[in-house]
Amino acid sequence: MEKLLDVGFIVKSFPVIAAQLPVTLAIAIGSMALGLLIGLLTALIKIYKIPVLKQISACYVSFVRGTPLLVQIYLVFYGIPKLIYFCQTEYGWLQGLDVNVIAPEFYALLSFSVNLGAYLSETIRSAIESVDRGQFEAAKAIGMSPASMMMKIILPQAWVVAIPNLGNVLISTIKDTSLVFIIGVIDVMGQAKILGSRGLAFFEVYIAVSLIYWIVCILIEALLVRVEKRARRYEGSAAS
């Protein structure tokens, strides 16, 4: 009689799948860091209404938010090699670069960074605009440069406001990395699919991978709560 659930297979597959967790976390955290940089630049372009760049950034955000992440991964995966080949053949640029040796993790990191940059730009912009305008005026009154004002006065306060949304984005990104197997990246989801196809036990491996994602997200949530409490404690100390 066929068993409904092979618990032993779940137990055996769990550490094998979890071994690919560093790949998942590297893509998620790396793209989050690059996405924050892209998002910050995009947000500042919108806030300061820089001509031309403002229109370009608005188009970029609209495109990313209006297309599926899966499509964006494919665009990067197939588009970057074509662009490199075009530059090599038409202009003689990048001649030493062989697109065949570029790891699929690079495409995954780039596509996620571009995607996150658009979404984080709105989070960062709203956080910056939530800072009391009096802070801007006070910084200008004492002769601070715009860059110094932003780094020393505005961004530290905006960071506290943005932490919950940034945490939600990070958790969503960790789960969204399950898509990278479509371009050949062996992350936890990719490893689960490989094990499932070998043992014809897809139900069991998906239970195992769901538990891994769940545990990771619980740990990330706990860490973010501590970070937010610490940030708000320093905020309270500064205010007093």
Domains annotated for the chain, with CATH where assigned, are 21-185 (1.10.3720.10)
At position 9, the amino acid (one-letter code) is F
Distance between CA 6 and CA 79 in Å, rounded? 42
Lowest-pLDDT choice from 65-74, 196-205, 225-234: 225-234
Of 61, 202, 185, nearest to 120 (Cα)? 61
| 228 or 186: which leads in pLDDT | 186
Q: Do residues 51 and 57 lie in contact, with contact meaning Cβ atoms separated by under 8 Å?
A: no
1 pLDDT more than 60: no
Is the pLDDT at 79 greater than 80? The verdict is yes
For 174, how many CA atoms within 13 A lie in the half-sphere containing its CB? 22
List pLDDT tens digits, range 139-184: 888 888 888 888 888 888 898 889 999 999 999 999 999 999 999 9
Q: What is the mean pLDDT of the chain?
A: 91
Whether 86 has a pLDDT exceeding 80, the answer reads: yes
Amino acid, single-letter form, for residue 165: N
Instruction: Output the pTM of the full model.
Output: 0.90
pLDDT at 128: 93
Q: What is the pLDDT of residue 50?
A: 93
CA dist 204 and 6 (Å) reads: 7
Position with higher pLDDT, 79 vs 148: 79
Q: What is the average per-residue pLDDT within 57-79?
A: 97
Residue 239 has pLDDT above 50, yes or no: no
CB-CB contact of 185 with 27 (8 Å): yes
Mean pLDDT, residues 75-96 taken together: 92
Q: Name the band, by pLDDT with cuts 50, 70 and 90, for residue 2.
A: low
Looking at this protein, which amino acid is placed at residue 42?
T
Cβ neighbors of 152 (< 8 A, separation 6 or more) are: 144
Strand, coil or helix: 81: helix
